[in-house]
Amino acid sequence: MRFSIHADGGARGNPGPAGAGAVVRDDAGRTVAEISEYLGLTTNNVAEYTAILRGLETLAHHLGERAKDAAVDVSMDSELIVRQMKGEYRTKHPNLVPLSQRVKIIVMKFHSVSFSHIPREKNVDADALANAAMDRGA
């Protein structure tokens, strides 16, 4: 059983009004869940991590005990966050360390989770959800 999560976060100003968006799809491409959450005033990197976290939390809740059998591909247009999640870069900022640790904990609920960087134009659904959250909150 395989799933994909497209995640994106953004802030208008850095820090500024921020939102997280994620789209969870099954291996047939059907949308399992969409997340669009206003985060208040924070940074774009906090929003990016929150988008990953909400996508994984939503999928874990949806699958329940079956999560341990699921392979998950997380795609996003933030090269920094992808490299941090792959262990290529250290996560040093004090606001990001707890979020990174929370993601690493929830990852353990799944059979496997991979992270990949995609161009912004391939992440339009998650971007639209993040922007809709910012629009609602601003």
Share of the chain above pLDDT 70, in %: 99
Question: Does position 138 have pLDDT exceeding 80, yes or no?
Answer: no
Q: Give the structural domain span for 77.
A: 2-137
Buried b (16+ CB within 10 A) or exposed e, 64-98: eeebeebebbbbbbbebbbebbeeeeebeeeebee
Alpha-helical regions (H) of the chain: 44-63, 79-85, 97-107, 124-137
Q: What is the mean pLDDT of residues 51-73?
A: 98
What mean pLDDT, rounded, does the chain reach? 96
**Entry pTM:** 0.95
> CA distances (Å), 105 to each of 7, 124, 136, in order?
18, 27, 30
The pLDDT value recorded for residue 66 is 97
Q: Is 52 left (phi over 0), alpha (psi -120 to 50) or beta?
A: alpha
| Interval 104-127: pLDDT, tens | 999 999 999 999 999 999 999 999
Q: What is the CATH number of the domain that holds 101?
A: 3.30.420.10
User: Residue 14: which pLDDT band, with cuts at 50, 70 and 90?
Assistant: confident
- Per-residue pLDDT, 137: 83
Q: Coil, strand or helix: which one is 94?
A: coil
Structure tokens at 67: 């999560």
Total number of domains constituting the chain:
1
